[in-house]
Structure 1
Amino acid sequence: MSGIIDSYKTIEKPSQGVYKEKGSKFLSYAYPVFSEEEIKKHIHHLREEYYNARHHCFAWQLGADGARYRANDDGEPSGTAGKPILGQLRSNELSNILVVVVRYFGGTKLGVPGLIRAYKEATADAINNAIVIERTVNDNYKVYFAYAAMNDIMKIVKEENLVITDQQFGLACSVAISLRQSETEKVIARLQHVETVRCEYLGSL
């Protein structure tokens, strides 16, 4: 499975930033995320917490290749909020991340260039305050086999440096394994060469 992008940069845990300009305050919140459902919950929470703010603008990017993304201006002039937030995610090569910028209007209009700068700087501050880490996209499998095949299975587990997340040994045995997506095809082929083995795909993360 060559050519698969199975690693990406993201943030380890939520972080915050702030930018102030002519009385307006831009509060930025960055979150590591894995699904659109998770994203919706964070945005809903911030809308409730900062119910009196004028705008809750955001951008997010999902997947190791960043193929799924969205930017939202939430009432700001088109392209002045969501786009600069997304631009910061991309220039920092981050994925599986959401940034929401909450704006309190200070009474003075900033104009299009001022807004773009404000949302960009607020996002940059949240990212600068975050711990950036690299993650891999892993496929999870359940491997079923007869007890007699135990040594062959464990040999492959050791040689391929597989992570066992669960195991059951008896007359019928099984191990749950997590492996990098780019290694999946090779490893599963090795396992299936062992007599009595059956591999069940459980999903990716």
Structure 2
Amino acid sequence: MHRIGWLRAAVLGANDGIVSTASLMVGVAASGTSLANVLLSGVAGLVAGAMSMAAGEYVSVSSQSDTEQADLAKERKELEEHPEHEHQELTHIYMNRGLDENLASQVATQMMAHDALGAHLRDELGITDVASAQPVQAAFTSALTFSAGAFLPILLAILAPGNSAQWVVSVGSLVGLIVLGVLSANAGGAPVGRSTFRVAFWGAAAMALTALIGHLFGVAGA
């Protein structure tokens, strides 16, 4: 749980970087265009995607942060104006978790004496330091990991021999997605097989679809 703040943004960014950039490049390559145009599409996709990810994460997580701050202000005001009611709320929360009324009331009293606002944020609203929104961290992590992921298919296209860029990018990117699935599963303590299958399946589907579209438009253009 201590890793969830950066892990979600990191996995999403790297996965999207590989899938979107590789798919874009595979689609362009399937149209029969030159390697220079394939690389240009990859670099453009990297820059646009990194900025989009950063902006999207910042806006969405900022909205979450605004909501948390509004809840914090509301809870602080209620504690100042209606402390007895807030004590009853906390008591009922602990009773619903299995404590009898007497013990729940004692626990609520001690928790409020120690940190009333923190107790209500944590136990009533589910807001903790671990789960609290951090917009700048999420935006920076998403942009950085997207760029790292997007760099893989670009590098593969540069190293691809002859006219094999489409296949080298496709296979190499799938390998990268599988490695990403393994790493994210290990970092988050999730089943490796399921995480790996998810990223590989959707990555393959995206590249296959864009390759088909690129081929159809390439044939039509010819």
Fold shared, TM-score > 0.5 on shorter chain? no
Shorter-chain TM-score bucket reads under 0.3
Greater fraction strand: 1
Greater fraction helix: 2
For CA contacts below 8 A with separation 6 or more, give which structure has more relative contact order.
2
TM-score by length of 1: 0.25
Structure possessing the higher radius of gyration over alpha carbons: 2
